[in-house]
Amino acid sequence: MGYEQFLQSMVFGPDWSHGPWWQKFWASIGKVIDSQNLLMETAYRVRNPGGAVALGYSDALDRQGDDRMLPRGGTDPTVSDESNATYAARLKNAWLTWGQDPDDGAGAGSVLGILRQLKIAGFPVEMSGPPYWTDGCFLVNHVGKIYILLSGGVLDPVGTPSVCINRKSLDGTVSGTLTGWTLDARDQFYSKWMLVFLEDVASLTNVECPARSRLNGICKRWKSGSAQYCGAAIVPSTAIVWGYPYTTEWGQADLNWGTNGARFIDPE
């Protein structure tokens, strides 16, 4: 029996303590104890992802995600609508997610780990296939190494050096002949990197907003400790900017300078 019934039963306390008013007193005390016991029992049962799903406690999953630093994903960077079942499966594999995956090497500090977390958060990072400049996202480092996430979550290093020769030393000693993007004045500096989204992310703007906070948070948390995230450029396929696509020519017809929707997202 619960405490509400036990405290009102004759086995508890002397007979004189079970009059009409005493019984009401014991009933109220018992209800409080029973409700606390139920809360503790529920907390024990939902302490792991499987129990939380079985009892339908979404908030318990969210607290477990906070503990594992794996927030609930979404179909868009502004929402967290990942199903309980899918989220629970991810939380069960938290240590493998953070560590190096034995099959594909993903994990914290890896390009694949970063792109996967961005995909889970609702950012359009997967590319559907050639040509690789209509959707998805590039991850580019300082020396011109380009990575993409193919449909199905497979990492593919792509691009040829000739496509990305515009890096220069900011001190003017080397001008526009080095492979890579100009992210730093040093000639051989592999650890600086940025993102280039090839389709618009309407919620992602260069002001304080949930999408920017989510993007910067993932990039800083999942990058290598020695690497520096330099921000993200959004260049939709309908927005041609100088040097992208690389066949763009100066003076090309139908190019309206400054009104093409391209923008940059600061890393802070």
Confidence of residue 74 (pLDDT cuts 50, 70, 90): very high
Question: Whole-number mean pLDDT of the chain?
Answer: 83
Task: Look at residue 85 in the predicted model and tell me its pLDDT.
Answer: 95
Helices (H), the chain: 3-8, 20-45, 49-55, 58-68, 84-92, 94-98, 111-120, 210-222
More confident call, 232 vs 261: 232
Burial profile 146-183: b = 16 or more Cβ within 10 angstroms, e = fewer: bbbbeeeeebeeebeeeebeebbbeeeeeeeebbbbeb
| Mean predicted confidence (pLDDT) in 241-259 | 59
Top pLDDT among 14 and 108 is at: 108
Q: What is the pLDDT of residue 103?
A: 77
* Inter-residue contact 45 to 17 (CB < 8 Å): no
Q: Retrieve residue 243's tokens.
A: 């040097």
What is the per-residue pLDDT for 179? 64
Query: Model's pTM, two decimal places?
Result: 0.78
Q: What is the pLDDT, as a whole number, of residue 254?
A: 60
Residue 111 confidence class, pLDDT cut points 50, 70, 90: very high
**Is pLDDT above 60 for 263?**
yes
The pLDDT of residue 105: 79
- pLDDT at residue 240 in the model: 61
Residue 257 has pLDDT above 80, yes or no: no
Domain residue extents for the chain: 105-265
Burial of 73 (0-12, 13-18, 19+ CB in 10 A): buried
